[in-house]
Structure 1
């Protein structure tokens, strides 16, 4: 016989729960709260770690967090603030710092006082009004629990003891919105426990919002959403929430209802605590709460609270069971359900307000403390290589009395040398202590340990598990793991996208040491910034995520290193690939007196898609009987990779190819490693031309926002650039156009769109994938490459 709980669970899974909810939710009252169950550590919120040498650390089940650890971690939050360009991330962070007492006054991103936002500390950031580098800070906040009634048990329940305010320590990283600086978002989310996703109440979900959401899902980061700019004309938070559900595929619902909108925005109604919240005083510093919900809003707020409970009960079995059993749901129950569902990423609470108008910012801080996980609630995994290769990973425990494990996630050249940002996952990092770099095996002393507040810092003696800090004088690379030498866990590096734009660069006048010093430093700081010397032209080539990305580095060279540079026309990162299989039977024979060169290979090339390791190039040895000795196989693979580096059609890198060697022959005297390396490259070129090769170009997903009267001109301009229109959305006075355009056709578009829209239009783009170029363009590129090669001869 099936138990009632099992039947409830089955109803919830079948989707029938929603119907039951709508029938019973109206009976719900804002009643006497019950004790809130402590949120269990979600077993599937996993972070990344890779194999490491053997470890002396005790198994995780042998390590328990002490009461002191739990008390400290419960009040700790590590969050990032991420969003699309100009959604108000830095403006929100500025308010957070002001309300928490970290800054004495608020300065706007493009303020008339010329000071600029605290977190935009670079001169370039303040000039352009954009965030270029992620900036870290920390603050303390006395959070109002989401249910103010005293718990029936009188025990601590995660929402504050009986509803009393509690002080939380919050580490905040403000990240850029431009896709060109996406690595800053990537490495911030890699080490954070939660995030605030900021959206514009008018524009809603935009292209970079989708990118940031994808990054949050990649690192399993729970989030709360904040719909900002509710003071703008055309603000509609309910349309934005629908977009969050449809475009981001998130189970989201509002936990607040705005009181007024646009010019009449006055405050918010808290749907969990059922209170109206207003901001008064200088810069909204005084938060005034009242039980009187505005009469014209009361019925609408009740509907939205009912919708909130329905969404939560769909995501949380405890509340779903309560509802089906027709038990009353208190404010504490609702807050507990939101926390459980938010931590397990089954639900996303949505806040509303306007950071610029100082409305609704303090409740977002309360929500961060109430609904986002503390470091002990996020399971971080590592692999212990004492166990077999396929063994399950082990957990890294954020306890103080275990071996140190920390990840260096960001490097910066500070006024006093290299500044290394670090997240401590377990153990304690102490000033003056000796730590070991797990990648290089080098040991280094920590001369200075600081907490960062944008470009200011505060010296500390030690940093506990679950916290973020910075070290001076420690040479390392981004993504290195540090331990105290008693364990060998190694956290894996973050995902680094490939560059899509390159350009040649050379110093104006005579080259100075500062030129190479600057390029080396930028490469170390930013994994998406690459430098190489072209083997034919001997020019220095820099590659990055976009024109703006490279422009910023050229400008930084001029300002920080006093090196004026001349740059060439941006070049797109074309690639070459094959579209069908082809066979080869290639013999390399050279005789010049004495020992010659001989190698013979038989096999085939096959198209290859990206495998589970992220590789789209492969090599397979199927030779039997010793026709080609195994000691020559590494040389054959090197020859294959040599040929990949310079494509036969246009000289660009070749991808999506697998070489399979099936047979061959060797000579006991004339065969050598060099002979087979040459044979492999020749066999590849021979088969490549028979495999219907194509040239691939990067395709960008472009989002354009402009006034409605310019829609025809903008669409005409995209058609001229061979773009494919994917979607259009028309709002009151403006429209959004989403299209796919080849990157090669997007150069110079920023000035073009300003001309088409009288300076009122804006666009953003992000890399989508590589696709074949048109046949006529491929023919021209192949012809140009042949002429170029002929001229050299």
Structure 2
């Protein structure tokens, strides 16, 4: 039985084709979880963690996959995440529940666009990480350049723990700068790790680099600084302790290197995971207390004065720190992923506090419904093992429960909720219709399943044409779901051309004071609200923020959620058309209610009408478009042609580097200009150019472009 200090929950994240799934495959092999290593794009069915037939055929990870391994008496839950930007929600929800991560970087490509996106996600959830520079055997491998990019592009403090022995095709191992040993990986599978003395020709470089390492570490530990000032050489255990402490506080990022495909360096990564990354007990996790609205309502109703404005119960939402070491504490767990299967829903659950037991019932903090957990499983890729219970730090599956991604489950004695995950807005949409009318039911069932398991997959109806629209994070994202439609539901569909998911945002603050009054023969409807709407800058316009600053019971507490929902109801369209409205913060400051005529419904309608009639018309709403960070790799001879073309696409060049005969350019380009870029780039570079892109932000559309979008007939 592993103690909580021996558990590690980690994710393997990277830019596409950096080798993270290959690294995971080698980890499984060296830990004895599998007995044969398979290639990601091999003829033997693909990698263990890419078990979906679409993943195996395409040679990419589409859905995050879970497994468990044991290494050095530690129990490691590993989640292999996709590297393609279109499946970024898989990385997002995995990092939300993980304690640490391995950031895999290509020794040639270095820090690329999705590396930056993953770094941003790690920062969002405060996840410590180690970095692994992979593909050291490739021509052009340059770990020093990758180290510089970590500092410049990710603004982190990398600390180099290894030096390569040999380079490119001659790469054979690493020098461990902590123990000052040469480490080689022998045998056809690299399973035999040999530690020997450092080759004489590398000794001077190793000593110099170790001195840099010690100087860097001394900045984060006064005791180590004192030891070094005293002229004493610190032992390896002292250095491990300092590195671990600085890694957990996210002050440093330890950097290792190797070649997962050539079976070199993987065991050192596993050891670094157990040595430097946190256990569940090392992470501070907080849940927010939930106000018991029924109690507030009871107290209002018991007031002696039924005609005057009543004071709502003052509820202060506080934070509760959870304990991963208290096994007997009440349960707090998060459902971070749901998968719709033939026999019901599979829910992936991370336990933060307490225990889950088969057959017991737990409360969904969002719905307040009690749900019985009849089947618990431990997951290894596509294999399952039935279990009776699980404790703090565990990641398990629960079969047959109804919930959504991001839901919190607790014991009945607790009323608290964990912060949910960030969900990016989709940027591409297209129309979809069935080829055979008889398949309409299949389509509806499939789209509902896709929507439930993937928060970035959206389904809507075009109000003008009545067509069904699907939206996602990119063309590949939607293509995969179309393929699943045909494979899993035998539903053949036609689709329209991809189009941009435009947004609209306010640019001017608005003070509002709105009264909703509707009288009928019986009880009427009354609600009054007052407050301010403030725009959020377009570069962070990805959510609607609502703040309640009412005081003195002017609006009863139980009606506040209805006010918020009323505002949200009107965000699916705005003054510019059927584009989502984003980027606003509403602060509710005052209001009034009627004892008999006010209700949830009246305040919801009041807020919706206020948004439609009082806020948006005065907010100077402008059109927004998604901006993509595009990274283009082309032979240097085509640099000028490609640069000029990017500028004509309304692009902004942010970086350009030349490595030998290859030019790597980074640019911010509107998505609307990129739908034909694959063929355009091939034509300009005689088929030699490649590119990747990642969503960057929403930005305001220039007036002339906005006019063409909003008035397509006036060309």
TM-score category, normalised to shorter length: 0.7 to 0.9
Distance in 1, matches of 2:563 and 2:217, equals: 59
Shift of 1:413: 2.8
Aligned to 2:361: 434
Shift of 1:281: 1.2
Shift of 1:393: 3.2
Higher Cα Rg: structure 1 or 2?
A: 1
Distance 1:708 1:618, change over 3 A: same
Residue-by-residue CA offset, 1:216-243 (whole Å, 9 max, x unaligned): 1111111111000001111010111111
Distance 1:587 1:757, change over 3 A: same
Distance in 2, matches of 1:408 and 1:606, equals: 33
Aligned to 1:727: 655
2:237 to 324, 327, 332: 332
Distance in 2, matches of 1:764 and 1:547, equals: 13
Shift of 1:343: 1.4
Aligned to 2:114: 208
Q: Is the 8 A contact 1:259 1:269 kept in 2?
A: yes
Count of aligned pairs between the two proteins: 684
Aligned to 1:64: none
Q: Is the 8 A contact 1:207 1:765 kept in 2?
A: yes
Aligned to 2:37: 106
Shift of 1:615: 5.1
Secondary structure of the corresponding residue to residue 189 of structure 2: helix
Aligned to 1:27: none
Shift of 1:204: 0.8
Distance 1:562 1:314, change over 3 A: same
Distance 1:618 1:780, change over 3 A: farther
Residue-by-residue CA offset, 1:427-460 (whole Å, 9 max, x unaligned): 2222333333232333333332221111112222
Aligned to 2:128: 222
Aligned to 1:564: 492
Distance 1:236 1:422, change over 3 A: same
Residues 676-685 or 759-768, more deviating? 676-685
2:425 to 485, 495, 498: 498
Q: Is the 8 A contact 1:697 1:773 kept in 2?
A: yes
Aligned to 1:301: 206
Shift of 1:286: 1.4
Shift of 1:403: 1.8
Q: Is the 8 A contact 1:316 1:340 kept in 2?
A: no
Aligned to 2:688: 760
Residue-by-residue CA offset, 1:743-767 (whole Å, 9 max, x unaligned): 1111122233233334333222222
Shift of 1:633: 12
Are residues 1:119 and 2:49 paired? yes
Q: TM-score, normalised by structure 2?
A: 0.86
Aligned to 2:294: none
Shift of 1:337: 0.9
Residue-by-residue CA offset, 1:286-335 (whole Å, 9 max, x unaligned): 11221x21111111111111111111111223322333354441111111
Shift of 1:644: 5.0
Aligned to 2:633: 705
Aligned to 2:301: none
Distance 1:388 1:272, change over 3 A: farther
Are residues 1:715 and 2:616 paired? no
Aligned to 1:78: 9
Distance in 2, matches of 1:395 and 1:119, equals: 32
Aligned to 1:739: 667
Shift of 1:270: 0.9
Secondary structure of the corresponding residue to residue 418 of structure 2: coil
Alignment of 1:217-366 (within 5 A): 217-290=123-196, 292-366=197-271
Residue-by-residue CA offset, 1:605-643 (whole Å, 9 max, x unaligned): 976226999755779999xxx9xxxx9999999887676
Q: Is the 8 A contact 1:279 1:285 kept in 2?
A: yes
Distance in 2, matches of 1:283 and 1:430, equals: 40
Aligned to 2:595: none
Aligned to 1:484: 411
2:464 to 536, 554, 576: 536
Shift of 1:688: 6.0
Q: Is the 8 A contact 1:642 1:681 kept in 2?
A: no
Distance in 1, matches of 2:570 and 2:58, equals: 43
Aligned to 2:307: none
Shift of 1:485: 2.4
Distance 1:136 1:585, change over 3 A: closer
Aligned to 2:709: 781
Distance 1:458 1:211, change over 3 A: same
Shift of 1:680: 8.4
Are residues 1:771 and 2:707 paired? no
Aligned to 1:173: 79
2:69 to 139, 148, 151: 139
Distance 1:381 1:656, change over 3 A: closer
Shift of 1:501: 1.4
Q: Is the 8 A contact 1:602 1:663 kept in 2?
A: yes
Distance in 2, matches of 1:103 and 1:703, equals: 36
Are residues 1:130 and 2:60 paired? yes
Aligned to 1:5: none
Distance in 2, matches of 1:583 and 1:275, equals: 68
Are residues 1:552 and 2:483 paired? no
Q: Is the 8 A contact 1:269 1:293 kept in 2?
A: yes
Higher relative contact order (CA 8 A, sep 6+): 1
Distance 1:582 1:241, change over 3 A: closer
Which consecutive unaligned segments of at least 5 residues does structure 1 have? 1-67, 144-166, 665-671, 788-793
Secondary structure of the corresponding residue to residue 417 of structure 2: coil
Distance in 2, matches of 1:374 and 1:701, equals: 34
Distance 1:433 1:714, change over 3 A: same
Residues 509-518 or 391-400, more deviating? 391-400
Secondary structure of the corresponding residue to residue 212 of structure 1: helix
Residues 83-92 or 717-726, more deviating? 717-726
Shift of 1:710: 2.5
Distance in 2, matches of 1:602 and 1:417, equals: 43
Are residues 1:407 and 2:334 paired? yes
Secondary structure of the corresponding residue to residue 342 of structure 1: helix
Distance in 2, matches of 1:264 and 1:507, equals: 55
Aligned to 1:11: none
Are residues 1:451 and 2:353 paired? no
Secondary structure of the corresponding residue to residue 687 of structure 2: coil
Secondary structure of the corresponding residue to residue 105 of structure 1: coil
Q: Is the 8 A contact 2:541 2:583 kept in 1?
A: no
Aligned to 2:296: none
Residue-by-residue CA offset, 1:327-357 (whole Å, 9 max, x unaligned): 4411111111111111111111110100011
Aligned to 2:286: 381
Residues 278-287 or 483-492, more deviating? 483-492
Are residues 1:90 and 2:21 paired? yes
Distance 1:675 1:252, change over 3 A: closer
Distance 1:129 1:484, change over 3 A: same
Q: Is the 8 A contact 2:536 2:585 kept in 1?
A: no
Distance in 2, matches of 1:764 and 1:95, equals: 26
Secondary structure of the corresponding residue to residue 576 of structure 1: strand
Distance 1:648 1:379, change over 3 A: closer
Distance 1:382 1:602, change over 3 A: closer
